[in-house]
Amino acid sequence: MNRVLGDVAVVQGLASGMVSDLIKQVTTAIVMVFILIKMDWIALLGLMFFFPCVFLPVRYFSKMIRRQGHRAQGGQDMLLQRLKEVLSNMRVVKAFAREDYESTRFRGLSHGLYSLGMKVVRIQGLSSPVMETVGGLLLACLALYGTIRIKSGAMTGGEFLAFLLVIYALYDPIRSLTKMYADLQMSTVALERVFRLLDSKPTLVGPANPTPMPEHPKLLQLENIKFSYGKDEVLKGLDLTVRKGETVALVGGSGGGKTTLVNLVPRFFDPNEGRITIDGIDIREFDPRELRKRIGIVTQETLLFMDTIHDNIAYGLTASRAQVEAAARKAYAHDFIMAMPKGYNSPMAETGSTLSGGQRQRIAIARALLQDPPILILDEATSSLDTESERLVQQALENLMRNRTSIVIAHRLSTIQFADEIIVLQNGELVERGTHFGLLEDNKVYKKLYDLQSFV
């Protein structure tokens, strides 16, 4: 956010203000140099010895400004990141009575950023005295040079005065250019950060000539899937087949790789080894956006946009009010929506915090119903709900899953008893597969998980 807003604003100021002034000062300097060549080229040659006195300090200060500028921008990033975290987790902060702690930490980060900014200002402030000192030395040398030239009869007093005026006219743009160069360093820092963002490449790219996505896919297959986060191997050679209209459930302990597995289907990641196919075609041959349009996703934590309920349900689609209402009815959301002051035009607070967890889930299910995807992924969609909300959401999910290829992650095993196949994952490996009753008879990992939940 800081790069998109703050750094771009700095670069915008450079482009709008500094460029025109730069052209003006450079043009003035060039004209004055030509006049000096005509008046006394020997004196101009002597002035060249003063250039290192100007250039070397400015170059030194500019390096310091750029170095401190990077630190200041990094400090501002950290400050904004911390501010976002605290505001997003305000309930946690209040629940643990950590307001004073967060305020103190914020003041510390703010003071650190202030200190970095003051270092930059002090360095920039040094450039002007250096230029004034160089200007004083130049004036003394010119006075000595003029005295010698006038005494020798090579120059009159009037000519020397005109020469001084031209030198002053040249010195002013040079002084402005050195100050501008110092200011440019901060803009360069922002420009580098902006271009680093613009030049970043997506880790997942679509093919140059994508294969058309099947409208009604009949077969989803995962073949020898291996995946790791860094050196940590999460999935270890999994095979999975889901046919049209079937529901496959993934169960197992936390950290078993269930969510990672379903995140591979819409290509949020690519597997390190193996491939995922739809109707025999590798999903890497499809346009990623077209692939994701065919996949509906309902997760445990549903976040809504600060928009109306209607627009949240119709997100990414062109849908009429009647279509939105039909989807909401199937998701058992219509009644509580109509009970709100403005019905479907009711605005949502940030992340949909004015709605309960069950209501947000039903909005998400209505969104997926309206999308009408042939492939459906449910990631623990009912795990954090109360009994009444779970019943309504489960009924809505049954409407959503009907005649769709569905992959369901569930911790509550009671919600997936009628799945066509249940896959038990443990440490990234498939340890059991079968139907609910068949796995109970096998008396292995699934039976232990079921007994634990039944006991609770």
Residue-wise pLDDT tens for the chain (456 aa)? 878 888 888 777 766 667 777 788 888 878 887 877 777 766 666 666 666 666 677 777 777 777 887 788 788 888 888 888 888 788 888 888 888 888 898 898 888 888 888 887 787 777 667 767 776 777 777 777 777 777 777 777 777 777 777 777 777 777 777 777 766 776 777 888 888 888 888 888 888 899 998 888 899 999 999 999 888 888 988 899 999 888 899 988 888 888 899 999 999 989 999 999 999 999 999 999 899 888 988 887 777 888 899 998 998 888 889 999 998 888 888 988 999 889 999 988 776 677 887 888 888 888 888 888 899 888 876 665 666 666 777 777 777 788 888 898 887 777 788 888 999 998 888 888 999 889 888 888 888 888 887 654
CATH architecture of 219-455: 3-Layer(aba) Sandwich (3.40)
* Cα dist from 125 to 3, 122, 175, whole Å: 26, 5, 13
Domain residue ranges in the chain = 2-198, 219-455
Check if the beta carbon of residue 365 is closer than 8 Å to that of residue 401. no
CATH architecture of 2-198: Up-down Bundle (1.20)
Q: Name the token pair of 447.
A: 């039976």
* Cα dist from 105 to 78, 100, 280, 296, 335, whole Å: 12, 9, 55, 41, 45
The radius of gyration of the chain's CA atoms, rounded to the nearest angstrom, is 35
Check if the beta carbon of residue 366 is closer than 8 Å to that of residue 313. yes
How much of the chain is in helix, strand and coil states, percent to nearest 5?
60, 15, 25
Q: How far apart are CA 410 and CA 413, in angstroms?
A: 6
Are domains 2-198 and 219-455 of this chain identical in fold? no
| pTM score, whole prediction | 0.69
Q: Could you identify the residue written with the tokens 């009647």?
A: 322
Q: Is 358 helix (H, G, I), strand (E, B) or coil?
A: helix
